[in-house]
Every structure is written in C-alpha cells, then in structure tokens.
C-alpha cells in the first residue's frame, strides 16, 4: 500500500491512512517537545505543577484521539 495505491481496494484508504497517521505523528512530536521543554523549565523553577499538568493533559488527549483514529481508518476499508 502506498499513498495513492491500495492492492486491496481503493486508493482513498492509503491516502486517508497516511494523512491521518502523519497528522498524529506531528502532534506526538509536538507533545514530546512540549513535555521536554516544560519538564526542564519545571526542574529549573520557571514553571509550576499546573503547567506540567496541562502539558500532560495535552499528551493524553493525543493518546485518546489515537484510540478512535485507528478503528476509524480501518473501518473505512470494510466495504471493499
């Protein structure tokens, strides 16, 4: 399977899969960078525990969304 071809069905599945997983990867990368930045600044005393908690909530939101994205992408291909 590539971005525009899918040997098992329509090319829309490949495009959807790679687009959605790429967008998720972008958010995960942003979350890791934010967690590192806030963690280092928290250690140095610049941020408080509330800032660390908000960043953790973002991280878990990205994790929660992924639990819905994976079934949604695979359910798109059920009709083929």
What DSSP designation does 5 have? Answer: -
Q: What percent of the chain has pLDDT over 90?
A: 14
| Single pTM value for the model | 0.67
At 29 the pLDDT is 92
- The number of C-alpha atoms within 13 Å of 21 and in the hemisphere containing its C-beta is 11
Q: Cα(3)–Cα(8) distance, rounded to whole angstroms?
A: 13
Structure tokens at 62: 């990205």
Q: Look up tokens 């949604």; give the residue.
A: 72
Residue-level pLDDT at 77: 63
The tens digit of pLDDT for each residue in 12-48 reads: 777 877 888 888 889 889 888 988 999 899 999 998 9
Query: For residues 65 and 24, is the Cβ–Cβ distance under 8 A?
Result: yes
For the ranges 2-11, 48-57, 62-71, which has the lowest average pLDDT?
2-11
Candidates 58, 4, 67; CA nearest to 32 is 58
C-alpha to C-alpha distance for 72 and 5, rounded to whole angstroms: 19
């Amino acid at each position: 399977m590539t971005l525009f071809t899918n040997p098992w069905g329509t090319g829309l599945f490949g495009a959807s899969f790679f687009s959605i997983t790429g967008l998720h990867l972008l958010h995960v990368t942003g979350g890791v960078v934010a967690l590192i930045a806030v963690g280092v600044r928290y250690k140095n005393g610049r941020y408080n525990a509330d800032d660390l908690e908000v960043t953790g909530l973002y991280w878990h939101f990205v994790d929660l969304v992924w639990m819905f994205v994976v079934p949604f992408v695979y359910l798109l291909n059920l009709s083929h």
